[in-house]
Amino acid sequence: VIGFYPVLSQAPTVYDDEQEGFDQQIVIKFSHVVAENTPKGLAAQQFARLVDERTQGRVKVEVYPNGVLYSEPDEIEVLKQGNVQMIAPSFPNLSKLQPAWMVLDLPFAFLSHEAVREAFDGKLGRMLFNQLQQEDMVGLAYWGNGFKQMTNSGRPILRPSDLRGQHIRTMRSDLLERAFQMFGAQTTQMPFNQVYRGLESGMLDGEENSISNIYSKKFFQVQKYLTISNHGYLGYAVLMNRTFWNKLPTDIQAQIRDAMKETTQWANVNAIRLNDRQLEEIRQIPDLEIHTLTDAQRAEWMQAWEPLYREYESVVGRQYIDEIRALQH
Ligand code: LMR
């Protein structure tokens, strides 16, 4: 018998297996917006497998990829209401709830994978998860995807001034919009699964994303240029509804935490490998022109975006900016 959670019900369904001979099974619906062949998509499946193994089938994680169940921004609301039990939104989506999360979206916030790891495993990661308690969410883990690159049509983007007049899709973050507007771009926040159409129709000129998202959604089919800029970082907070979590038996909580720990260790290594491999495949595409920023070009972008740190200090919170600064040395 499968415990199925109707709308707004947050309590795990428990069957009296001694009396009725049922296997007691708890269902966790895990909704996300990306393709299956991505760091997040694969990690969600791995987590589902490990939970099944660790709990010996007492808990079933049902993964819904590609936004088939819910897209952004709805996934946050449905998690809070308990209509799904797990989501793994990218950081910008959380900055709508708690502006401190914008710190992870500052341009060049992370200069290496090691710095990302330090943030996830350290004080900054804990500070941000603490913020989510008031939203009835538990932060179970951070999953990395990779550094963001830019794709567009029109002209190659090598310098900030090349953005002038470009219409750029951003994720759900005022900071990200501002980052592009600073250089004369027009911006629109748009859910992930509408981006391809926006690019194809010519409504948008470009967007920023990890290689895995560019690859799995085939943005290269409707873009002329790819700039390897590594100018930002795309990662995920893996979240569970807090009320639901608190009602789980403690042995199951421990098994889920265990499965999550193992998944996360694997996922964060796999994410780097997958993005590297998919970049190699993208390089084979004849009609896409790829530019990699030189050190001098990168320095120009960093300097041009520097004022954004001051501009957002009071919104994000000084202590968060200090933490990210400390990781940049
Ligand atoms: C995007 O909206 O482009 C990404 O946040 C999608 C994702 O979850 O990786």
90 lines ligand 1 (CB under 6 A): yes
- Residue 188's DSSP bridge partners are 169
Overall residue count recorded for the chain in this entry: 329
| pLDDT values of the chain reduced to their tens digit, one per residue, 329 residues | 233 323 333 444 444 444 333 458 999 999 999 999 999 999 999 999 999 999 999 999 999 999 999 999 899 999 999 999 999 999 999 999 999 999 999 999 999 999 999 999 999 999 999 999 999 999 999 999 999 999 999 999 999 999 999 999 999 999 999 999 999 999 999 999 999 999 999 999 999 999 999 999 999 999 999 999 999 999 999 999 999 999 999 999 999 999 999 999 999 999 999 999 999 999 999 999 999 999 999 999 999 999 999 999 999 999 999 999 999 98
From the list 211, 271, 320, the residue with the least C-alpha distance to 39 is 271
271 lines ligand 1 (CB under 6 A): no
Residues 9-27 have pLDDT tens digits of 344 444 444 433 345 899 9
209 lines ligand 1 (CB under 6 A): yes
Closest ligand 1 atom, residue 92 Cα: 5
CA distances in angstroms from 26 to 42, 196, 238, 252, listed in the order given:
22, 36, 19, 10
CA of 69 to the centre of ligand 1 (A): 15
Query: Is the C-alpha dihedral spanning 176, 177, 178, 183 positive or negative?
Result: positive
CA of 171 to the centre of ligand 1 (A): 7
Q: How much is the pTM?
A: 0.92
Residues 198-217 have pLDDT tens digits of 999 999 999 999 999 999 99
In the block, residue with structure tokens 């910008």? 92
213 lines ligand 1 (CB under 6 A): yes
Closest ligand 1 atom, residue 209 Cα: 3
> What is the predicted pLDDT for the residue at 10?
43
CA distance 32 to 45: 11
33 lines ligand 1 (CB under 6 A): yes
> What is the predicted pLDDT for the residue at 16?
42
Closest ligand 1 atom, residue 93 Cα: 5
149 lines ligand 1 (CB under 6 A): no
The token duo for 2 is: 């499968």
> What is the predicted pLDDT for the residue at 289?
98
CA distance 186 to 205: 10
Closest ligand 1 atom, residue 191 Cα: 2
Query: Do 201 and 194 contact (CB within 8 A), yes or no?
Result: no
> What is the predicted pLDDT for the residue at 23?
58
34 lines ligand 1 (CB under 6 A): yes
192 lines ligand 1 (CB under 6 A): yes
- If you take atom 2 of ligand 1, which residue's CA is the nearest one? 192
171 lines ligand 1 (CB under 6 A): yes
CA of 132 to the centre of ligand 1 (A): 20
175 lines ligand 1 (CB under 6 A): no
> What is the predicted pLDDT for the residue at 329?
83
CA of 40 to the centre of ligand 1 (A): 10
